[in-house]
Structure 1
Amino acid sequence: PQWGKPVADLALLGTWLRAARRARQRAQPFDFVLAHNVEAAAIALASRRATRTPVVYVAHTLLRHELSAYLPERHSGEAARAGQQIERAIVRRADGVITLCGAAHRALSPHAPGEVALIPPSFEARPAPDPAHQARACRRHGLSPGRYALYSGNLDRYQDLDLLAAAALRLPASFDPVVVASHAPPSPAPSPTPLAPGRETPRSARLRHVRVRDFEEMRTLIHGAGCLVAPRRRIGGFPIKLLNYMEARRPIIAFAGAAPGLKHGESAWLIEETDSATETSDRMAEAMANALTALFADPALGRHLGAGARHRLEAQHPSRLIGAKTVDYLSRLARQPENAELKVP
């Protein structure tokens, strides 16, 4: 969260009101507004009477898990309860709800007045960066293609990078680097010891942070990695980085509850949490270190898991399929009497 966010939200409200007004003036009013995340849903609901447009809340995460990551640990319980109340209020008022994963669908469905859809995000795979391009990107950061494990993304606490740092501590000194690649400079928010771009943390010579210039460089490093890691444990969303990982045909290490659609031994190496209330971070870090060690020692297994992840991507996430599911859901909503009444001029 940043201080400029409320200003951006107000600007979004103005943009939406103007767009809805122009659409009605052209006698082509919007059938629905798909409001992604809580802020957009709150804006769309607050202006629904003025825009006369049914609101479909697209839940990218469970707010109770997200808010608790942005406040000190001593306030995590209050933040989780507040987030739960907010998201339930939005779900009760929305004309429709789309969730991206089963955990969110199970959590939100009991509080919605109508059908809640489960539709994962779409993704269109592109050709992989050529080997020469991968080699150049790796060389820029002192890496060798296929000889590093990679986490890509932001450094916020909800990414559980402390587990990755703890796992790196358990790896032998001869192990290939574990790289945290981010667009942002180091932040005091991440759980690991702050990582300086291009420098090693004193906690482990195996863990390094590199700062990438743009998404294309990030994507190239993803394709050049020997293994891809998603240490996030919070459930309720669909980490978009997983789609980028699946595209690359590289083996993925993730926690089972936070990797929707992937299957252990088929499309990923998944770490199970049989009882998240009692599982310790030490045990989870050890499991992650064991997974890293096993995959780098067994290239054939890595290729098998990478191919399985790519197959899953192509089978379940193409834009045409996801678009059709979304249109089908909206069509069902449009037939509901309350939505028909809302749209009467």
Structure 2
Amino acid sequence: MTGQPLAGRRIAEVLATSTGGVGTHLRSLLTPLDRAGALVRVCGPAATDELFGFSAAAAFRPVGISGGLDPVADVRAVAALARATRGADLVHAHGLRAGLVAAAARRGTRVPLVLTLHNALQPGGGLRTRVLGRLEAATVRSADLVLAASADLAENALAQGARDVRLAPVSAPPLPPPTRSRAQVRAELGLDDRRPLVVAVGRLHPQKGYDTLLAAAARWAQAPGPTPLTVVAGDGPLEAELTRRIDSERLPVRLLGRRTDVADLLAAADVAVLPSVWEARSLTAQEALRSGTPLVATRVGGVPELVGEAAELVPPGDPVALAERVTAVLTDPERTARLSAAGRAQAAGWPDEAGTAAQLVAVYRELLGAPG
């Protein structure tokens, strides 16, 4: 087909272990890149293909890039990625871990490297944090172009010496329409009409701030009136720890595991919560506002610029503020209606998947020039 901006260009998309937004975002790009004429290969852990189905839309090359520092595994991953990306015209790494391995794998070549920053390093101390900080800076400087999912990530990349940094908002793919009614979902959860439902969606990981959510739920359990049931859709490394705390403190919280019916849960929810320590352009926040579900979220990272006035924002790590704001939404029908309408209006102004993909195609074309 003539007129394709990336006709015949060989693009390698690279990601490390991902069970959430990064993999979802990358999967949404594959079909538009194919339509633009690109020959795309995805390089990442085999489990990511099983989870996101990359191989249904592109060639997939298994490369064991881990989610944490492991010098021996990293050396193997660099060698494997160098083989997997051989012959590529451009390499695009999604996330710092993927970027670190990709930068080492393409060393000695002139293949352009694009790095998308989806997340920030979490604050901490000690040798490991210092090493990670140096590796982050080196990775950012090695990229020909850094795309940042939020303004704070862009500012940090510039401060670390990145050559070219651009803001590139990540759009959440639209959820499918709900397949069950609000009443059906609530009945399956054992809820009567009076008991509120609070929904959180996201990986069971320290970044998501679920310790704060559980502390807030403990306050709801002690307050007068119907106690909200809080459900969390997601799996992850904190599952056992959170389960023990829920059981030992008899909290009104239920871990649902990884779900494919997030649209149904959000449609049935009285309020959605996002208690994260940090987020760039949260896919969960996008899904909640698009669905018209009132959202209470932490004022961190790119969340304020994403939601504007369409969500209630609280400080991170503050269970009292989170509990009080959620209660305020649950007990004020006018506020609930205002947030629902404002969320849909805010979401209407976000770039959609097509716009996100078109921006990326333009970036690739800029770096590679015209086909042929």
Find the aligned partners of 2:336 and 2:176 in 1 and give their Cα distance. Answer: 20
Checking the alignment, whether the CA contact within 8 Å between 1:182 and 1:209 is kept in structure 2 is no
Match of 1:255 in 2: 298
Checking the alignment, whether the CA contact within 8 Å between 2:205 and 2:237 is kept in structure 1 is no
From 148, 152, 166, give the equivalent of 1:103. Answer: 152
Runs of 5+ unmatched residues, structure 1: 69-75, 196-200, 274-280, 341-345
Match of 1:73 in 2: none
Checking the alignment, whether the CA contact within 8 Å between 1:253 and 1:269 is kept in structure 2 is yes
Q: Shift in Å at residue 56 of structure 1?
A: 0.8
Deviations 1:166-201 (A, max 9, x none): 1122221523212223345963455x8534xxxxx4
**Residues 231 and 193 of structure 1: is their aligned pair in 2 closer, same or farther, counting only changes over 3 Å?**
farther
Q: Does 1:166 align with 2:215?
A: yes
Checking the alignment, whether the CA contact within 8 Å between 1:64 and 1:82 is kept in structure 2 is no
Where 1:261 maps in the other structure, the secondary structure is: helix
Match of 1:215 in 2: 259
Checking the alignment, whether the CA contact within 8 Å between 2:197 and 2:228 is kept in structure 1 is yes
From 306, 324, 328, give the equivalent of 1:290. Answer: 324
Match of 1:317 in 2: 351
Q: Does 1:36 align with 2:94?
A: yes
Match of 2:314 in 1: 271
Where 1:98 maps in the other structure, the secondary structure is: strand
From 112, 117, 141, give the equivalent of 2:189. Answer: 141
Where 1:42 maps in the other structure, the secondary structure is: helix
Match of 1:233 in 2: 277
Deviations 1:73-107 (A, max 9, x none): xxx44443332211111011111111101111111
**Residues 40 and 263 of structure 1: is their aligned pair in 2 closer, same or farther, counting only changes over 3 Å?**
closer
From 204, 209, 228, give the equivalent of 1:155. Answer: 204
Deviations 1:26-75 (A, max 9, x none): xxx52x2210112211222112146642111111111244xx5xxxxxxx
Match of 2:245 in 1: 194
Where 2:349 maps in the other structure, the secondary structure is: helix
**Residues 247 and 77 of structure 1: is their aligned pair in 2 closer, same or farther, counting only changes over 3 Å?**
farther
Runs of 5+ unmatched residues, structure 2: 1-15, 18-44, 47-62, 66-72
**Residues 193 and 221 of structure 1: is their aligned pair in 2 closer, same or farther, counting only changes over 3 Å?**
same
Which of 318-327 and 43-52 deviates more? 43-52
Where 2:114 maps in the other structure, the secondary structure is: strand
Where 1:120 maps in the other structure, the secondary structure is: coil
Checking the alignment, whether the CA contact within 8 Å between 1:238 and 1:260 is kept in structure 2 is no
Q: Shift in Å at residue 15 of structure 1?
A: 6.7
**Residues 183 and 141 of structure 1: is their aligned pair in 2 closer, same or farther, counting only changes over 3 Å?**
farther
Provide the aligned C-alpha RMSD in A: 3.5
Checking the alignment, whether the CA contact within 8 Å between 1:168 and 1:204 is kept in structure 2 is no
Match of 1:198 in 2: none
Q: Give the counterpart letter for 1:169 in structure 2.
A: A
Find the aligned partners of 2:212 and 2:109 in 1 and give their Cα distance. Answer: 46
Q: Shift in Å at residue 116 of structure 1?
A: 0.5
**Residues 314 and 19 of structure 1: is their aligned pair in 2 closer, same or farther, counting only changes over 3 Å?**
farther
**Residues 62 and 228 of structure 1: is their aligned pair in 2 closer, same or farther, counting only changes over 3 Å?**
same
From 120, 136, 158, give the equivalent of 1:62. Answer: 120
**Residues 189 and 234 of structure 1: is their aligned pair in 2 closer, same or farther, counting only changes over 3 Å?**
farther
Find the aligned partners of 1:95 and 1:250 in 2 and give their Cα distance. Answer: 40
Q: Shift in Å at residue 162 of structure 1?
A: 1.4
Where 1:167 maps in the other structure, the secondary structure is: helix
Q: Give the counterpart letter for 1:90 in structure 2.
A: T
Match of 1:181 in 2: 233
From 85, 91, 106, give the equivalent of 1:48. Answer: 106
Checking the alignment, whether the CA contact within 8 Å between 1:109 and 1:116 is kept in structure 2 is yes
Match of 2:334 in 1: 300
